[in-house]
Structure 1
Amino acid sequence: MSVIGEAALSVFLELLGGKLLDSALNFVADHKQLRPQLKQWQSILPDIQAVLDDAEEKQIKNEGVKKWLEDLQDLAYDVDDILDEFAYEELRLKLKKSQAEASTSKVRKLIPTCCTSSNFTPTFFLFKNSMIPKVKEITARLNSLTTRRSSLGLSEILSQAPTSKGKQPRLQSTSVLDGVVEYVGRHKEKTEMIEFLKGDNSNGVSVLSIVGMGGMGKTTLAQLVYNDATINQCFHHKAWVCVSDNFDAIAITKAILQSITSESCDYSNLDLLQVKLKEKLFGKRFLLVLDDIWNENYNDWTILRSPFGAGTHIIVTTRLQIVSSIVDPLKAFHLDKLPEDDCLSIFAQHALKARNFDGYLQFKEIGEKIVRRCNGLPLAAKAIGSLLRTVTYPGKWERIYESEIWNLPEEQCGIIPALRLSYHHLPSYLKRCFAYCSILPKEYAFEEEEIILLWRAEGLLQQKAMPQIKDLGNQYFQDLVSRSFFLTSSKDKSRFVMHDLINDLAQVVAGEICSKLEGDKKWKFSNRTRHSSYIVGTYDTAKKFEAFDQVNSLRTFLPFKFASDYPLPFLTNFVLVDLLPRLGYLRMLSLSGYWITELPDVFENSKHLRYLNFSNTLIECLPDSLCTLYHLETLLLRRCRQLQRLPSKMENLVNLHYLDIRGANSIERIPFRIDKLTNLQRC
């Protein structure tokens, strides 16, 4: 059910065809074979990028288009890897030249510059020649994609608003409550909101906001308050408007007027509409619900609310914390997961038309297991309960429980489009960051810095998206928090978690690119897999890593631990001696938390590495080949208590931004010339 997102892929292609390709072209400017090939890339990539909108539209119904997009995504990663090799070689030569110039040898001064220039070394010629077949293969694949593009009928189409493209029109919410179902949960929030609304607001407009991820029950809570009998007695007028994607001040104002007057309104002039609305509300108590707001423009909000004065209460529901900040509520209600008992009652009402399982004991055990998978999300409990409404035997319930929710019929399971909608509203640069987070295990609590360092290593923090922002990683992370993709952990307020169904959503949009070992299933990763993770066991033997047999171009190798218990877990030597040396495209490698005392000296073949995490291991030293990792940005050695020294040529790690040696108290001295690492921000 995975769908390739053209927006995220388009950003990737744009980056490849920009500075990365320009730099490679300059580097091989005098090469008669490589330069023409790269020039072809430069002309083909924009043509392919131009049809991505059309391809995204057609992939749902056309398997050939979906396969074309998958092959294109695969190719984009391969292009990135090759351009990265050029960048590495250029950096290596630059360092070598710099070191040669620093030499004060009198003998060297007598040798002509042309003979010492790094551009004339045999190694450099060998490198260029080794790149010829790789580059030619990419060119052939690009040409093949271009031919297939034509045969599939893909064409450039005019760009559409990102909120409307590729989606069916959504049924708007209304103020009417379901008279069949007894509502449970949110009693505290409902009572608090009603008491607030009944109070005096003679000093001006009062605003309440209800904030939470999709499916958390924001609209239901607003309906409960809106239809409460005591609220009806407190207000002269009420109006409910579902704003949704299109924040149209004229349409919203018309809808409010029609709710108050029960008359159709033909005005199309916003000034006339607002003057009439202000007259109608003068001296009256008015309750307005604006459901499902996505608009983040403060000016739009101030224009819309201008007719309202003393006596007006507004309830706003939104998935975005930034919207809550913009409407400046006197009080904001941030909805968390429902207790399991409340979810169980919701599920039972929709599945069995009963409040509980007292009369249906044969369904009780499996029903409770299904509800636990809903993880406190009321819409999920309702949606899956509705699927089972006509099912009279427990076997079908078992099959629903064992099925991934994303494999259920979308037209019958409202939770799927409800959650996917949040993803569609993300800017393209955040879509890539979110999809990458699919490698996080369910229920794993992570730190902000932990995720930002991984994003940086994968090249997801692009200055072009927000050139005015200094700390892009923090901004991206907080944007995803604001949109409820990341939730504050209830166990540790300094950490964050992803709701299970949001984690599933990330896996759906990432597809085979991101894979993880979870549970007891026998896994085999696709040869398309670029990012992988697994949960650490007490003894991680070679059998566990059979899943990596088909993976040739892996970028991410991350183990995750849920506890920091001692003794440390053991890792098979197969990973260190056999697996890692053949993963030559790794950018992120962690062996954190394992009982490892020695690392093999194999890093000279790992030129793409940006991120290394050996924290909480028993290593005593680092191999010298680590200093050939000129792209390395992050080196984590936290609590490596046995580590006695750092490599002597650390100054070669010119891109190192982050070095964490906290708790590595046995280090005897910092290497000479480490002050040359001008990019180092933390040590």
Structure 2
Amino acid sequence: MAESFVFDIAHSLLGKLASYAYEEASLAYGVYKDLQGFKDTLSIVSGVLLDAECKKDQKHGVREWLRQIQNICYDAEDVLDGFNLQDKRKQVVKASRSRRVKVRHFFSSSNPLVFRFRMARQIKEIRDRMDKVAADGVRFGLTNVDPGLVVQQREMTYPHIDASSVIGRENEQDEIINLLMQSHPHSDGGGDNSLCVIPIVGIGGLGKTTIAKSVFNDKRMDQLFQLKMWVCISDDFNIRKIIINIINSATTSIFTSSSAPSSGSAQLENINNLDIVQLVSRLRQKLSGQKFLVVLDDVWNDDRAKWLELKDLIKVGAPGSKIIVTTRSNSIASMMGDVPPYLLKGLSPKDCLSLFVKWAFKEGEEKKYPNLVEIGKEIVKKCQGVPLAVRTLGSSLFSNFDISKWEFVRDSEMWNLEQKKDGILPALKLSYDQMPSYMRQCFVYISLYPKDYIFHRTVMCSLWVAHGLVQSLQGSEKLESIARKYIDELHSRSFIQVVRDYGSYCIFNVHDLIHDLALYVSREDFVAVNSHTRNIPQQVRHLSAVEDDSLDLDLFPKSRCMRSILFPIPGLGLETESLLNEWASRYKYLRYLDLSDSSFETMPNSVAKLEHLRFLDLSFNKKIRIIPNSICKLLHLQVLLLSGCTKLESFPKGLGKLISLRRLILTTKQSVFPHDEFVTLVHLQSLNFHYCDNIKFLFRHQLPSIEKLSCDSCGFLESLPLHIFPKLQTLYIKNCEKLNLLLNNESPIQTLRMKHLYLLCSLSLVTLPEWIVFSMETLETLVIDSLPNLKMLPMFLSTMTRLKKLYIIDCPQLLSLPSDMHRLTALEELCIEGCPELCRKCMPQSGEYWPMIAHIKTISIV
């Protein structure tokens, strides 16, 4: 378990308890005193949690004490969730005109008097449990710990390096040296442009410090710079300390320089007692007029004001002075850099094997053990080009010639192997520890998916939102928008790798070692079940099935604390409803249930027991015919996915009761949708129609909450009244052959403010619809794909002042671009594929259109 995992859970719960909504609810239901008492005790306990987590391996009983705290926090969340559920029940009853519904509510367990009594009893029980556990914790002698002090500290780095130990980085070294030899990209001979910052970015263990050392010690640098200084920053961006280190490093640089006087007049002095004014004066004395190179190694600071303060102090050197920054964060690199970040890549398989052999054998010894070298080739594959991982595994096998030990390392997951302080996972965990609490909790859900999995941003965001990990501080910002920012932050910190970003749609994956890190920090609470799984911990809360033959009912824990069950692998799902029926009875606190690619015919009525459910995915269940009306009792449900359920005859009656619904995907044989049901779904933001073969018309009245609309393979759809979606931001239309997109005769749509438009698989389009012009000032993404008869793009395309991404794919008759393409100054990405003549005209340097598009940052012509 992660060293801050329980602390993160407690911290999150305290934030919820402090909210105005919970305070009002506790007063309304007469449980304020007990809830405040619980919160006060939890505040005291949370202060010592980090100390407890650091000592859990040294003190007997601390680990179990932490487990009890965690369980109480989760149970408290489940109880408090009842407040929200009761409020939703009251809303539904109030909206209902049926006297029968109101009478049934009065005599049910959700009756306000019954509910108040039950909540008071449950909250008192939780408070008593927390008081007891807090008392038990006193005997462990735990103390309050500053969260910032718990972060594992990285060893301080130094510039010395043995050149013979660096393998496979010659090209990278030369490329960075070439950057150092170039003038500032915006150079005018002085001012701010006299100092250029070059960032090197990559995940932990990739070799950023090693490559910086290699460059720093290259003889060409001695000829290029009068001063060379090395400063290890790590997580403490203290201006005073950095100044002292630069001064000392500059003095050492002069002292060791070949041009330094032999008398040793450049003696190191004790400057630690100087005040900041004296230090700044001394710093500027050292650097003024000198052409220097400074390496700032391992930067974690994202405070731009601090960075600009430091930069202002040291930009007194001669033109051509340079700073190399190594960091794991893309956003820090962008903040500090004057040139695009140098993205360090992994070593080649050949170089990885050479490095592995160097660490696993004495020199020449590998020739005696060719069988072990062959196993070594398999071992280095799991390192995915990361030198520290190669070194970690090689070192663990040094002078050990037992073939079974080598096979064990080859066949074991990285996180299951012994972890030493200087190993790869502790190195990567530094990045994990540096993340905010809410990001750490989100990251561990990656462990539920197999390696090499392609994640869809929307799915991951829904998973986080379903578990209450996404909180809106302002109260007005959409949770989905905040979750997308979390994805961006993980990408910035090198935790995920974006495969393709289509604006509203984004897919990404994670490096195998990052996946190992997720497994390393999640452990017992998160389990991915495969055919080798023989035991699932009773306390597991999140479970995924990633292989066939892994769904033995006896394997599943009998505890009732499960919160997630998912089937992430395409084609793998439940075959019968009996197991689902058992889950619905046993795991009533489920928040997330992904049953995609299942093959049962009937959804059991027992699904209504899952009152806390936020996410339900039944996609691509090609046998299911009926979904019971009881599903409409799931008042917390935010996402319902029914895409690809081709035998589904109709969706359940009472859909309008799902007042929390945010996202809905439908496949149905129905030809008419009940408008009255959809009008009550006031939080519905995303609406998708997928293979709805019988639908001809959508709704006739406004649905003001819809922001994202998708019509995919609706072969008889004739009408698309865009004016009924006044807040529409994303429109996706694919393979709707009877839909005439060029006509919009229902109503004027001058209010259209779309940001993302996707037009795919249409034989009828010869040009783009004129109504797009109404999004001229807002459109950011335009994707046109598989439009075989498209012959021209409208001239108004070049007026799209905010357009960032333009994809033109498989439009073979499209021969030209608008002549004013150079006016698209915001355009960052242009992709043209499968358009032979247009591709020829856009080829770099030689194409006639190249001057119009050369300013675009990312261009792909295939």
Q: TM-score, normalised by structure 2?
A: 0.70
Tell me: CA distance 1:522–1:406, structure 2 relative to 1, closer, same or farther (3 Å): closer
The residue that corresponds to 1:453 in the other structure is 462
The residue that corresponds to 1:647 in the other structure is 652
Check the 8 A contact 2:17/2:39 in 1, yes or no. Answer: yes
1:421 is aligned to 2:405: no
Calculate the aligned-residue CA RMSD, in Å: 3.0
**Equivalent-residue separation in structure 1 for 2:364 and 2:668 (angstroms):** 59
1:671 is aligned to 2:674: yes
SS in 2 for 1:50: helix
What is the one-letter code of the residue matched to 2:371?
Answer: Q
The residue that corresponds to 1:11 in the other structure is 11
The residue that corresponds to 1:386 in the other structure is 395
2:580 to 576, 579, 584: 576
**Equivalent-residue separation in structure 2 for 1:294 and 1:170 (angstroms):** 12
Check the 8 A contact 1:592/1:613 in 2, yes or no. Answer: yes
What is the one-letter code of the residue matched to 2:532?
Answer: K
**Equivalent-residue separation in structure 2 for 1:377 and 1:490 (angstroms):** 23
- Superposed displacement of residue 230, structure 1: 2.1
Paired residues for 1:231-270 under 5 Å: 231-262=221-252, 263-264=268-269, 266=271, 268-270=274-276
The residue that corresponds to 2:157 in the other structure is 173
Comparing 638-647 with 267-276, which one deviates more in the overlay?
267-276
**Equivalent-residue separation in structure 2 for 1:367 and 1:221 (angstroms):** 25
- After superposition, give the CA deviation of every residue in 1:448-472 in whole Å (9 maximum; x if it has no partner): 1111110000000012499878721
Check the 8 A contact 1:429/1:465 in 2, yes or no. Answer: no
What is the one-letter code of the residue matched to 2:603?
Answer: L
**Equivalent-residue separation in structure 2 for 1:491 and 1:449 (angstroms):** 12
What is the one-letter code of the residue matched to 1:25?
Answer: S
Paired residues for 1:338-417 under 5 Å: 338-354=347-363, 358-411=367-420, 413-417=422-426
**Equivalent-residue separation in structure 2 for 1:507 and 1:46 (angstroms):** 29
Comparing 501-510 with 352-361, which one deviates more in the overlay?
352-361
- Superposed displacement of residue 646, structure 1: 2.1
Structure 1: state its 5+ residue gaps.
Answer: 109-114
**Equivalent-residue separation in structure 2 for 1:355 and 1:212 (angstroms):** 32
Check the 8 A contact 1:17/1:46 in 2, yes or no. Answer: no
- After superposition, give the CA deviation of every residue in 1:146-171 in whole Å (9 maximum; x if it has no partner): 2212232334x2x52x443253x432
1:546 is aligned to 2:530: no
SS in 2 for 1:268: coil
The residue that corresponds to 1:59 in the other structure is 56
Paired residues for 1:598-609 under 5 Å: 598-609=602-613
Check the 8 A contact 2:230/2:295 in 1, yes or no. Answer: yes
- Superposed displacement of residue 249, structure 1: 1.9
1:97 is aligned to 2:94: yes
Structure 2: state its 5+ residue gaps.
Answer: 253-267, 688-862
1:44 is aligned to 2:41: yes
- Superposed displacement of residue 491, structure 1: 13
1:638 is aligned to 2:626: no
Tell me: CA distance 1:569–1:35, structure 2 relative to 1, closer, same or farther (3 Å): closer
Check the 8 A contact 2:225/2:321 in 1, yes or no. Answer: no
- Superposed displacement of residue 393, structure 1: 2.9
SS in 2 for 1:660: strand
- What is the count of residue pairs matched by the alignment? 653
Calculate percent identity across the aligned residue pairs. 32
1:500 to 499, 512, 518: 512
Paired residues for 1:208-219 under 5 Å: 208-219=198-209
Tell me: CA distance 1:47–1:300, structure 2 relative to 1, closer, same or farther (3 Å): closer
- Superposed displacement of residue 129, structure 1: 5.5
- Superposed displacement of residue 89, structure 1: 2.8
Check the 8 A contact 1:636/1:659 in 2, yes or no. Answer: yes
SS in 1 for 2:305: helix
Paired residues for 1:558-577 under 5 Å: 558-561=566-569, 563=570, 571-577=575-581
The residue that corresponds to 1:335 in the other structure is 344
Q: TM-score, normalised by structure 1?
A: 0.88
Check the 8 A contact 2:662/2:685 in 1, yes or no. Answer: yes
The residue that corresponds to 2:540 in the other structure is 529
What is the one-letter code of the residue matched to 1:151?
Answer: R
Check the 8 A contact 1:258/1:265 in 2, yes or no. Answer: no
- After superposition, give the CA deviation of every residue in 1:90-131 in whole Å (9 maximum; x if it has no partner): 3213321332xx46x8xx9xxxxxx97966767525555655
1:87 is aligned to 2:87: no
Check the 8 A contact 1:603/1:628 in 2, yes or no. Answer: no
**Equivalent-residue separation in structure 1 for 2:567 and 2:580 (angstroms):** 14
1:281 is aligned to 2:287: yes
- Superposed displacement of residue 594, structure 1: 2.4
Paired residues for 1:310-325 under 5 Å: 310-325=319-334
Tell me: CA distance 1:305–1:338, structure 2 relative to 1, closer, same or farther (3 Å): same
SS in 1 for 2:534: coil
What is the one-letter code of the residue matched to 1:534?
Answer: A
Q: Which has the higher helix share?
A: 1
Comparing 2-11 with 239-248, which one deviates more in the overlay?
2-11
Tell me: CA distance 1:372–1:541, structure 2 relative to 1, closer, same or farther (3 Å): closer
- After superposition, give the CA deviation of every residue in 1:504-554 in whole Å (9 maximum; x if it has no partner): 222232231111113x323322221111111153xx5753x4321434221
SS in 1 for 2:150: coil
Check the 8 A contact 1:647/1:671 in 2, yes or no. Answer: no
Tell me: CA distance 1:541–1:423, structure 2 relative to 1, closer, same or farther (3 Å): closer
SS in 2 for 1:138: helix
**Equivalent-residue separation in structure 1 for 2:276 and 2:54 (angstroms):** 35
The residue that corresponds to 1:111 in the other structure is none
**Equivalent-residue separation in structure 2 for 1:40 and 1:280 (angstroms):** 59
The residue that corresponds to 1:152 in the other structure is 140
1:300 to 298, 306, 310: 306
**Equivalent-residue separation in structure 1 for 2:425 and 2:43 (angstroms):** 33
Tell me: CA distance 1:360–1:446, structure 2 relative to 1, closer, same or farther (3 Å): same
The residue that corresponds to 2:743 in the other structure is none
Paired residues for 1:590-629 under 5 Å: 590-618=594-622, 619-629=624-634
The residue that corresponds to 1:433 in the other structure is 442
- Superposed displacement of residue 40, structure 1: 4.3
What is the one-letter code of the residue matched to 2:567?
Answer: P
**Equivalent-residue separation in structure 2 for 1:123 and 1:390 (angstroms):** 68
1:477 to 482, 487, 493: 487
**Equivalent-residue separation in structure 2 for 1:503 and 1:366 (angstroms):** 23
The residue that corresponds to 1:112 in the other structure is none
**Equivalent-residue separation in structure 2 for 1:337 and 1:593 (angstroms):** 36
- After superposition, give the CA deviation of every residue in 1:7-61 in whole Å (9 maximum; x if it has no partner): 41232330453347535523432xxxx6765454344333323332432343242
**Equivalent-residue separation in structure 1 for 2:532 and 2:541 (angstroms):** 20
Comparing 444-453 with 574-583, which one deviates more in the overlay?
574-583
Which structure: larger Rg?
2
- After superposition, give the CA deviation of every residue in 1:155-196 in whole Å (9 maximum; x if it has no partner): 4x2x52x443253x4321111113552x22333322211112
Check the 8 A contact 1:542/1:574 in 2, yes or no. Answer: no
SS in 2 for 1:635: strand
SS in 2 for 1:173: coil
The residue that corresponds to 2:827 in the other structure is none
Paired residues for 1:158-197 under 5 Å: 159-160=145-146, 162-165=147-150, 167=152, 169-179=153-163, 181=165, 183-197=166-180
**Equivalent-residue separation in structure 1 for 2:344 and 2:478 (angstroms):** 30
SS in 2 for 1:379: helix
1:517 is aligned to 2:529: yes
- After superposition, give the CA deviation of every residue in 1:237-280 in whole Å (9 maximum; x if it has no partner): 11111111111222222222222223335163444444444444
What is the one-letter code of the residue matched to 2:494?
Answer: S
Tell me: CA distance 1:412–1:397, structure 2 relative to 1, closer, same or farther (3 Å): farther
What is the one-letter code of the residue matched to 2:43?
Answer: P
SS in 1 for 2:605: coil
- Superposed displacement of residue 627, structure 1: 0.6
Check the 8 A contact 1:616/1:638 in 2, yes or no. Answer: yes
Tell me: CA distance 1:660–1:329, structure 2 relative to 1, closer, same or farther (3 Å): farther
